[in-house]
Structure 1
Amino acid sequence: MSTSDLLSLCLFSYVVFLCFPYSGAVYSKSKECKRLDIFDIILRDKCPRTSILQSFKTWRFDRRQVLATTFPLDLILQNYVRQVPKCLFSVVYPIPLKTETSLVSYSEGVLNDILDLSDHVTTTKEFVDFVSGSWVLSSSVPLSHRYGGHQFGYWAGQLGDGRAVMLGEYTNQRGERWELQLKGSGRTPYSRQGDGRAVLRSSVREFLCSEAMFHLGIPTSRAAALVVSDDPVMRDQFYDGHPRVERGAVILRLAHSWFRIGSLEILAKNKEFQFLRQLLDFVIENFFLHINTTGKDKYLELYSRIVSDTAELIAQWQSVGFTHGVCNTDNFSLLSITIDYGPFGFMEDYNPKFVPNSSDDEGRYSYEKQPDVGVFNLEKLGEAIKPVLTQQQQKQLPHILKGYESIYKDKFMKLFRQKLGLYTDKEDDENLLAVFLKIMEDTKSDFTMSFRELGEIDLLGLKTEAIPQNYWSLNTMADHEWFWKWIIIYKKRLELEGTTEKRRQSLMNKTNPRYILRNWMAQEAIEKADRNDFSGVNRLLGVLERPMDLDPEAERAGYSSRPPEWSKSLRVSCSS
């Protein structure tokens, strides 16, 4: 096959951004306002801390608990499972664990930079009691949120925080407002048939992945701390009739907001239009500051922004091989951040049909289908806001949604150009990427390490068709008949770029992680933690906080090596 033939291949089925059933122009309003990236704000030191609290006893939630005073609360104060009408929240106190709890791990960055706390507080009984839910601050108004959602394509009715309690809202010294939530703290009115608990296995995974995603630069909820107890929690992990007792755990997680598409859906479905409008206004006023709160098209502008931000978020997921596993509308944030980590997975061998969730028999939420699922969920968001729109405004919703494809594709290509070390935009870049992915797929090469090793290798030093043995993933790719022809084309593309080898490598090694949260790495940490050895969790957390940096300890642990054979049998499910 000649070089020209290779470039002309129509390999669109191998590039995820081309898997859309429709095409359309970008709605202009989606690009009128630059996204207010709340995660960039965190990193800016606009309002430096004046101090870090050494004592947890003096730490308090904001006196003005906005959610509890702004929205209608459930009139029934008793905590029992039921249908809850005409409100957004129920007042629910955490149910304390019965056995002694131990602190598994905490995020130093969250404690110091968000909660204004020193590491010292983690040694105190008060902090562990707070995270476990056995001590509720006097300034706390604990709430569980009522929402609905489409699950695997079907309307599921009332869902809600079945095992989560929001303890309160904290405004830190930078002026950032955060909602703190316990997950696994016991039954709530929204628990349905569940017990409201979470097990150590799933809690370790969520704790580590929340922080891993943040340090990969992907919008996400954060995890502050994780505790474990000896409380027995019965789980049938794979729904195969073999339940077993696991250890109960609680994770303290936080986000600027936990509102999701399902928050609006349940209000629209139940014709609670006054509350629907109230929630939309709140979201605009507090999180979309560039939208004119008095404008007649403010809800359309909000929809356009969420369409745009969701498209960009999913492109970011694709760029690191992250597959959420349960992309239901109740798991899609209105702020377009990654929330509700369950049976997620980082793709290892490049396989567009990768499904991390063993419960997803039909592959609805595979890696390649995530962009299409985004469209489905945004359609449901549009249906939810229809009741507050005029008939003329309702006609605009499909036109806004048509912009999703273009926004997604632009972001996807921008990210993957960076992954290839390219600074500029050329017409044939889509084919260049498509062929690279096709080679990777055919040879079952590792998604993460193929890009990383391509950034680490000295292309100028490749005088013969041979890859040094330590580049194990590229060596796998090199067995493909197209690989060396692709390398020639890639070098020519870099020549057009006019960049140096050092500059290419610098961009690629700042873009492509060396370490991701692979299932086998999490499993090793979980098994140690189950024996009260938390060193694996903490070591892994430290590596994931610096995913681009070469770490000798991580190398010795094999975190960038070919995954062990036993890892292929690992499975995750919705059970947690």
Structure 2
Amino acid sequence: MHLPIDDRFIHALPADPDRSNLRRQIRNAAFSYVTPRVPSQPRLLHAAPDVAALIGLQPDDDQSDSFKNIFSGAVVPDEADPYAMCYGGHQFGSWAGQLGDGRAINLAEVKHAGQHWTLQLKGAGETPYSRTADGLAVLRSSLREHLCSEAMFHLGVPTTRSLSLIATGDAVLRDVMYDGHPEYEPGAVVCRVAPSFVRFGSFEILASRGEHGLLRQLADYTIEHYFAGIAAGKEGYVEFFRQVTQRTLAMIIDWQRVGFVHGVMNTDNMSIHGLTIDYGPYGWLEGYDHAWTPNTTDRQHRRYRYGNQPQIALWNLAQLASAIVPLVGDAEPLREVLAEFQTEFSAQYAMMMAAKLGLDEPRAGDETLFEDLEQLLHATETDMTIFFRRLAAVGQAHTIDDGIDFLKPIADAFYVPAELTGEVLDQWRSWFTTYVLRLQANTSNDAERARRMNAVNPKYVLRNYMAQLAIDKATVGDVSLIHELYDLLRTPYAEQPEREAWFAKRPDWARDKVGCSMLSCSS
């Protein structure tokens, strides 16, 4: 097995001179060299063949011992020099100082077919940034990250990719709910793949320490390799920030479109590329609820709830703007970019909602249609994925009767159909009346509209209970459900009639089950 290694980050930016994995504060360096931990008995559980092809591997390479050993951290390729990156971050709105890659190790960078990728092992042992942790990861969280990374890609959401999920054969002690009851769990390593793992926090830590020379180096490196066409100088840094803002905005719009909730939108979990990164206590909306967060750590203040993700993205961008002010010399042009985000978000959100509802394009007055629908989806527990997917069956000639039959196309989406009475039912009737009239203003026919709707409203998403079922099986050695879900989620917009069982509301047993409704950052 051959990896086309082409390391450039470590050759362009200053390194921490200490090559030990000992925990410490790192100054005047963008990264630290580290040595991955050798697992006791690595075993491949799943690999993504299209990701393997991206980085130049051959179709059968994942069956080799070399693949298993390299991507578990057991063997470092001859030309590689693994490293962990230094960054800081705002966590839950408060500056946390140095954070860095505490359980992630960049194994190498590779170049294939004109594209450059960084390969990162998550769970491969301690680094200088591990603080009081062990740098390891468990099967539970690693499986969720592996499947979700690939699920998001096939949904069309900007994301890091995942090459492989490998069990280490080692037991890892974790307190899942932080309630003083730690237990040993099977360990695992995921190999994440992205153009780079530079984060908002990579700039924040340098600005906070006054390391402005290195801040400029990092910005220039990032622009040169990932933001082609930007000229050098102050205006270039503003344009760099504008493009980061645009990429972040596009990512958030897609999160809202598919009902994805990240759960931990700290600035150290924000990619400079506008990619979804660091899959921890994430989840998909099941009952449509703007106040929902999957993160138990956040359940009191709900800072990272679904409905607040656009505002948090803007807040995080403001922190990045503050970090690069020393390069620009003036905060005003950066503030103007942030103001553009707010204006552009409203326009793009309207376009996204129009697409979900099958409208040719948003028109004046559609905001009321969107807002009324969102209020109704809150009024009764309604499954977001099923509702929007089933809505494609409502046509321009849909009959709005005096009873409840007009709701038949979307009936499967309601968790408690008995709530559809009285005022709530009247509100649904009023909304559907307005919606059908609006559809009649379309220039496209029902068949074309339904096709467009089904291209933006997925039929299958990685619901937490699905991931938990795969975790339960994999924990006892059965990886069949990992493979089944991976195959399902490769074509999330297709009907897949043989897999119709996965197009269903969350089962009652999953409503309050740990791993299905309650998740923590413990991994």
Could you say which TM-score interval applies, normalised by the shorter chain?
Answer: over 0.9
Structure 2, unmatched stretches of 5+, are: none
Quick one: which amino acid aligns to residue 515 of structure 1? Y
- The answer as to 2:396 corresponding to 1:451 is no
Query: Residue 462 of structure 1: CA displacement?
Result: 4.2
1:488 match: secondary structure: helix
Q: 1:453, 1:474 within 8 Å by CA — same for their partners in 2?
A: no
CA distance in 1, matches of 2:341, 2:409: 42
* SS of equivalent residue, structure 1 residue 510: helix
The aligned residue for residue 25 of structure 2 is 83
Partner of 2:321: 382
Partner residue, 1:108: 49
Q: Distance in 2 between matches of 1:339 and 1:74?
A: 25
Cα offset, 1:295, TM superposition: 4.4
Alignment check: 8 A CA contact 1:89 1:146 kept: yes
Deviation at 1:101, TM superposition (A): 1.8
CA distance in 2, matches of 1:543, 1:471: 24
Which residue of the partner structure matches residue 543 of structure 1? 488
Residue 59 of structure 1: aligned partner: 3
Q: CA RMSD in A?
A: 1.6
Aligned pair count reads 510
Equivalents in 2 of 1:456, 1:204: separation in Å? 35
One-letter amino acid matched to 2:489: L
CA–CA distance in structure 2, aligned partners of residues 260 and 238 of structure 1: 27
How far 1:399 moved relative to its partner?
A: 2.1
CA contact (8 A) 2:89 2:267 kept: yes
Read off the aligned partner of 1:168 and give its amino acid letter: A
Measured in 1, the distance between the counterparts of 2:94 and 2:312 equals 13
Q: Is the 8 A contact 2:38 2:74 kept in 1?
A: yes
Residues 60, 137 of structure 1: 8 Å contact kept: no
Q: In the alignment, is the contact (CA less than 8 A) between 1:312 and 1:407 conserved in 2?
A: no
Q: Tell me how far 1:305 sits from its aligned partner.
A: 1.7
2:243 aligned with 1:305, yes or no? yes
Q: Find out whether 1:566 has 2:509 as its counterpart.
A: yes
Please show how residues 231-380 of structure 1 align to structure 2 within 5 Å.
Answer: 231-292=170-231, 294-360=232-298, 361-380=300-319
Task: Please give the secondary structure, in 2, of the residue aligned with 1:208.
Answer: helix
For 1:295 and 1:265, the matched residues in 2 are separated by 20
Name the structure 2 match of 1:140: 80
**Cα shift readout 1:111-139 (whole Å, capped 9, x = no counterpart):** 12x12323311211111111111011111
Q: Map 1:111-190 onto structure 2 (within 5 A).
A: 111-112=52-53, 114-173=54-113, 175-190=114-129
Contact 1:448/1:513 (8 A) holds in 2: yes
Counterpart Cα distance in 1 of 2:362 and 2:353: 11
Change in Cα spacing, 1:413 to 1:470, as seen in structure 2 (3 Å) is: closer
* Partner SS for 1:157: strand
Residue 59 of structure 1 aligns with an amino acid whose one-letter code is L
Q: Distance in 1 between matches of 2:409 and 2:11?
A: 62
Task: Give the distance between the partners of 1:554 and 1:270, measured in 2 at CA.
Answer: 53
**Shift, 1:461, TM fit:** 5.5
Displacement of 1:273 = 0.7
Q: After superposition, where does 1:205-224 map in structure 2 within 5 Å?
A: 205-224=144-163
Provide the secondary structure at the position in 2 that maps to 1:481: helix
Residues 463-501 of structure 1 deviation map (CA, whole Å, 9 limit, x = unaligned): 745144884116949653211221221111111122211
Structure 1 stretch 266-275 or stretch 464-473: which is displaced more? 464-473
Supply the AA of the counterpart residue of 1:165: I
Distance 1:341 1:507, change over 3 A: same
1:223-277 per-position Cα deviation (integer Å, ceiling 9, x unaligned): 0110013301000001000100001000011100110110001101111111000
Asked if structure 1 preserves the Cα contact closer than 8 Å seen for 2:400 and 2:433, the reply is no
| SS of corresponding position for 1:132 | coil
1:552 maps to 2:494: no
Instruction: Provide the rounded CA distance (Å) in 2 between the counterparts of 1:536 and 1:513.
Output: 20
Runs of 4+ in 1 over 3 A off after TM superposition: 456-465, 467-471, 474-479
Quick one: structure 1 residues 458 and 422, their matched pair in 2 at CA, closer, same or farther if it must change by over 3 Å? closer
Q: 2:451 matched to which residue of 1?
A: 506
**How do 1:421-500 residues align onto structure 2 when only pairs under 5 Å count?**
421-458=358-395, 460=397, 462=399, 464=401, 465-466=404-405, 467-468=407-408, 471-473=411-413, 476=417, 479=421, 480-500=425-445
CA 1:553–1:525: 2 relative to 1, 3 Å: farther
State the partner residue of 2:14.
Answer: 72
TM-score, length of structure 1 as denominator length: 0.86
Q: Deviations over 1:493-538 (max 9, x none)?
A: 1111222110110111111001111010000000001111101111
Once the 2 structures are TM-superposed, how far is the Cα of residue 549 of structure 1 from its aligned partner? Answer: 0.8
Change (3 A) 1:469 1:177: closer
Contact 1:116 1:172 in 2 (8 A): yes
Structure 1 residue 397 displacement after superposition:
2.1
Distance 1:421 1:404 in 2: 25
Classify 1:478/1:454 alpha carbon distance in 2 versus 1 (closer, same or farther; 3 Å): farther
Partners of 1:469 and 1:507 lie apart in 2 by 17
CA distance in 1, matches of 2:435, 2:353: 14
- d(CA) in 1 for partners of 2:522, 2:393: 39
Please report how far the alpha carbon of residue 459 of structure 1 lies from its aligned counterpart in structure 2 after TM superposition.
5.5
* SS of corresponding position for 1:198: coil
Q: Using the aligned pairs only, state the percent identity.
A: 39
Contact persistence 1:95–1:186 (CA under 8 A): yes
* Structure 1 match to 2:135: 196
TM-score (norm 2): 0.95
Q: CA 1:162/1:301 → structure 2, altered by over 3 Å: closer, same or farther? A: same
1:436 match: secondary structure = helix
What residue identity is the alignment partner of 2:5? F
Deviation at 1:68, TM superposition (A): 1.1
Aligned counterparts of 1:154 and 1:242: Cα–Cα separation in 2: 28
Task: Please give the alpha-carbon distance, in whole angstroms, between the structure 1 residues aligned to 2:3 and 2:219.
Answer: 31
Number of the residue aligned with 1:11: none
